Amino acid sequence: MKTLILGATPNPSRYANIAAHRLVGAGHEIVNVGIKQGAVAGAEILNGLPEIGDVDTVTLYVGPKNQSGYYDWLVGMAPRRIIFNPGTENPELSKLAQEAGIETEVACTLVLLASGQY
Report the DSSP beta bridge partners of residue 74.
none
- Say whether 89 sits in a helix, a strand or coil: coil
Compute the distance between CA of residue 4 and CA of residue 33 in angstroms, rounded to an integer: 7
What are the residue ranges spanned by the domains of the chain? 2-114
**Residue 35 has what pLDDT?**
97
Q: State pTM to two decimals.
A: 0.97
**Residue 36 has what pLDDT?**
96
Residues contacting 26, CB < 8 A, separation 6+:
113, 118
Q: Please give the backbone phi and psi of residue 27, each rounded to the nearest 5 degrees, phi first.
A: 90, 15
CB atoms within 10 A of CB 96: 17
Report the DSSP beta bridge partners of residue 39.
44
pLDDT in tens, the chain (118 residues): 899 999 999 999 999 999 999 999 999 999 999 999 999 999 999 999 999 999 999 999 999 999 999 999 999 999 999 999 999 999 999 999 999 999 999 999 999 999 999 9
- Say whether 77 sits in a helix, a strand or coil: helix
Check if the beta carbon of residue 112 is closer than 8 Å to that of residue 83.
yes
Sign of CA dihedral 52, 56, 62, 67: positive
Max intra-chain CA distance, the chain: 35
Nearest-Å Rg of the Cα atoms of the chain is: 13
**Residue 1 has what pLDDT?**
81
Class of domain 2-114: alpha beta
**Residue 3 has what pLDDT?**
98
